[in-house]
């Protein structure tokens, strides 16, 4: 039962005997006094402990034999009650928030322990009340997935949903998204919705909203301020710049990647400063050219998922590449070494791929810098085999762009031309 999820044996008996269920707010007297909320336990846990969430947002386990007394402060039903209806403020700009299931602006379900996205504008206002002073937010749940489960078909769903608001009165659209694959989604939206008349901002949270160090609310506030104060177009990712609570970075959606597993400042613009820095009440513009203001909106919301990203390494077995080629693939993006190289052991397989009409693109494993395949003999050999150098395009962005290009164009010359055309600032000088 959800009231005792994960508890069994002695720990289950302890909760039942004290009339305590998951989600109750309690005070526990042990070696010291603890106050918190009873949380569910993972499966296969022992039966000697209970878990509580402290006010700091962190969970701790307490051994039941050391608990002298447990008191119930508040029941789960009262903790999870919904907030009151909010009133839209006249004169404030409107923003649409589409949730795809990330932890940004989320709430804790104390019955299950899950951190779930807000479902309504009322819940959003309750989670981040500062937003109501900046804009009127309409919230809608589009998906409910961890970002590792977001697939290319979901990119299409998100893009088609955003396209519906081309002629709306929204000042901008925020897409709440998990961080692990957010830069893949931002890349696709950048290509598919080039020239969209209002800004599209992807926002995530490195630390969930039940933790004291959460960046969820601050990132969301920063995205809202960016939309209302800059009135710029394009697709961007808005996240913490560093561990400083007062600085939020706004990255161009095709020039950013996640470079740390857990830091709040995990996202970085590659090869340059973030396009904008939001610091307290100031927005600093670093973007030298407003790349998106002159673009006409011509949506191309199609893709071909038969594209792979091949990371070359010493010892790579060309038989693996042969299997990829024989699987009916349409494109291969190589993540090569240095200036754009792979070992000569791969040459015969690459030649076979070219003969089959597979698009072949080269990026670099280096975090920064540009592919230059004319410098060394090995690079020139690969050029002669038909590999296209993709300048300083980030490998993941090149993968997404190839999916998009191959989904919208068929002629091989046109595919090459579009892959090398700077569509959404994916290439920089």
Residue whose structure tokens are 């740390």: 260
Q: What CATH number corresponds to the domain at position 60?
A: 2.30.30.520
Q: Are residues 75 and 100 in the same domain?
A: no
Q: Are residues 325 and 264 in the same domain?
A: no
Residue-level pLDDT at 80 = 47
Q: Estimate the crossing angle of helix 318-326 against helix 347-355, to 10 degrees.
A: 10
Q: What CATH number corresponds to the domain at position 281?
A: 3.40.50.1170
Residue-level pLDDT at 45 = 67
Give the C-alpha distances (Å, rounded to integers) separating 312 from 186, 325, 390. 25, 15, 16
For residue 294, being part of any structural domain is answered with no
How far apart (Å, rounded) are the C-alpha atoms in residues 65 and 243? 39
Q: Are residues 225 and 260 in the same domain?
A: yes
Nearest Cα residue to 137 out of 230, 220, 209? 220
Nearest Cα residue to 162 out of 135, 136, 142, 137? 142
Q: Are residues 405 and 321 in the same domain?
A: yes
Domain count, the chain: 3
Residue after which a domain boundary falls, among 285, 316, 337: 285
- What sign does the dihedral 237-273-261-315 (CA atoms) show? positive
Residue after which a domain boundary falls, among 24, 50, 79: 79
Residue-level pLDDT at 254 = 98
Residue after which a domain boundary falls, among 33, 53, 79: 79
Give the C-alpha distances (Å, rounded to integers) separating 288 from 71, 131, 222, 276, 404. 60, 29, 21, 10, 27
How far apart (Å, rounded) are the C-alpha atoms in residues 362 and 419? 11
- The rounded percent of the chain whose pLDDT value lies above 70 is 87
Give me the domain span that covers residue 268: 94-285
Residue-level pLDDT at 106 = 55
Q: For the chain, which residues score pLDDT lower than 50?
A: 79-83, 105
Active-site annotation, residues: 103, 179-180, 258
Residue-level pLDDT at 81 = 45
Residue-level pLDDT at 83 = 46
Largest CA distance in the chain: 77
Residue-level pLDDT at 123 = 66
Q: Are residues 117 and 248 in the same domain?
A: yes
Residue-level pLDDT at 212 = 53
Nearest Cα residue to 10 out of 58, 63, 61, 59? 63
For residue 54, being part of any structural domain is answered with yes
For residue 157, being part of any structural domain is answered with yes
Burial environment of residue 9 by CB neighbours within 10 A (0 to 12, 13 to 18, 19 or more): exposed
């Amino acid at each position: 039962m959800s009231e005792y999820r994960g508890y069994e044996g002695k720990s289950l008996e302890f909760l039942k005997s004290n009339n305590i269920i998951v989600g109750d707010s309690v005070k526990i007297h042990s070696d010291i006094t603890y106050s918190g909320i009873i949380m569910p336990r993972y499966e296969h846990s022992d039966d000697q402990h209970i878990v509580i969430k402290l006010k700091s947002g962190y969970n701790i386990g307490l051994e039941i034999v050391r608990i002298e007394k447990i008191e119930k402060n508040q029941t789960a039903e009262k903790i999870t009650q919904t907030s009151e209806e909010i009133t839209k403020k006249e004169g404030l700009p409107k923003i649409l928030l589409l949730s795809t299931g990330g932890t940004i602006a989320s709430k804790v379900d104390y019955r299950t322990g899950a951190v779930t996205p807000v479902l309504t504008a009322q819940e959003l206002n309750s989670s981040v009340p500062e937003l109501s002073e900046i804009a009127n937010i309409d919230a809608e749940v589009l998906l409910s997935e961890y970002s590792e489960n977001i697939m290319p078909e979901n990119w299409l769903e998100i893009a088609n949903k955003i396209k519906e608001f081309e002629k709306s009165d929204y000042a901008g659209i925020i897409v709440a998204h998990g961080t692990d694959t957010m830069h893949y989604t931002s890349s696709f939206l950048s290509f598919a919705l080039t020239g969209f008349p209002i800004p599209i901002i992807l926002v995530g949270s490195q630390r969930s909203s039940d933790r004291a160090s959460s960046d969820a609310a601050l990132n969301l506030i920063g995205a809202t301020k960016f939309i209302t104060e800059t009135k710029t177009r394009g697709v961007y990712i808005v996240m913490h710049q560093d561990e400083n609570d007062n600085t939020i970075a706004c990255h161009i959606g095709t020039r950013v990647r996640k470079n740390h597993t857990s830091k709040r400042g995990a996202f970085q613009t590659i090869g340059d400063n973030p396009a904008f820095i939001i610091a307290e009440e100031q927005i600093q513009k670093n973007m030298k050219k407003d790349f998106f203001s002159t673009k006409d909106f011509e949506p191309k919301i199609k893709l071909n998922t038969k594209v792979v990203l091949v990371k070359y390494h010493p010892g790579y077995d060309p038989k693996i590449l042969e299997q990829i080629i024989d699987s009916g693939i349409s494109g291969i993006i190589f993540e090569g070494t240095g200036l754009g190289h792979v070992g000569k052991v791969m040459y015969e397989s690459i030649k076979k791929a070219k003969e089959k009409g597979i698009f072949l693109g080269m990026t670099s494993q280096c975090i920064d810098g540009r592919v230059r395949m004319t410098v060394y003999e090995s690079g020139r050999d690969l050029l002669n085999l038909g590999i296209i150098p993709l300048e300083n395009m980030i490998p993941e962005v090149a993968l997404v762009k190839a999916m998009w290009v191959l989904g919208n164009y068929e002629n091989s010359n046109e595919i090459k031309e579009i892959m090398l055309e700077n569509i959404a600032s994916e290439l920089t000088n």
